[in-house]
Amino acid sequence: MSSVKQITCQQPCPRCSALDERLAVERVARLFHYFYEMFAPFEGWETREETRKAWDDLPGANRLLMLRTVAAVIDEIKRGV
């Protein structure tokens, strides 16, 4: 997995907060995909061959779906749902 260098401002600002949130969403989606693919065989689940690859090699539609899903989950957690 690749690491993302995070740059932060000295003072909180909406622009940095938005960037931090986007980076967090992508990191969670990448980690979810990685661990899902790793654990699936132990649960007797065979994932689809076209998605059984590194995050950067996934079809764009799959990455986008995971990013949207993670963003929605984070929004729900923030709202206390």
- pLDDT tens, 3-31? 444 444 555 556 567 778 888 999 999 99
Q: Which residue has the tokens 């960037």?
A: 19
Q: Which of 53, 50, 48 is nearest to 33 (CA)?
A: 53
pTM of the model: 0.73
